[in-house]
Structure 1
Amino acid sequence: MQNLRVHLIIEGRVQGVWFRDSTRRQAIELGVSGWVRNLPDGRVEVLAEGAADKVGKLADWCRHGPPAARVSRVIRDDEPWRGDLGAFAVRYG
């Protein structure tokens, strides 16, 4: 099984709609490591790694997010897997 690391920037109405916690729950359900955080400009950033198919499912989920979110764009950068991320968490600040 191939591992993958992905960096996502999610744009749209993605803050104040439970995007971070919903992303964390999705990642934990999929067995993906990493983190999610709000950016000062209103976007959300995700860094995730794990089995390529699971990381792909999380990235696909981020294209719509939770019900109250309105995602307008997702910028995705696939990166080599490093194996240095812990349990998926919400980061603050």
Structure 2
Amino acid sequence: MANEERKDFNKMLHDNKDMPKIQIITDQKSIEKYGGKRMYFAPPLDYDQVMKQVPYGQVVTVGKIREYFAEQAGADFTEPITAGIFVSIAAWSSH
């Protein structure tokens, strides 16, 4: 991310942006790629909470976090772009 020293990552972390929510997608290519129509959007703070549960020295992937959220929400998958952004925000807010 650019200009990290000027950004308030803690504020971003606590901005839920009307999430959590499930959106039904209709793009056939995306449905085939992700395996379903029900796309879940998890708020940034949820990513932070899950990441804090990972024991020191252990690794968890964004993909595994996304799978966990989709399963918990009864969705087919978790939106990948915001997931990557929110993981970065959670990591930066901990500094």
Asked if these proteins are the same fold (TM beyond 0.5), I'd say no
Q: TM-score normalised to the size of structure 2?
A: 0.30
The structure richer in helix per residue is 2
Structure with the larger RCO, 1 or 2 (CA within 8 Å, 6+ apart): 1
Q: TM-score normalised to the size of structure 1?
A: 0.31
The structure richer in strand per residue is 1
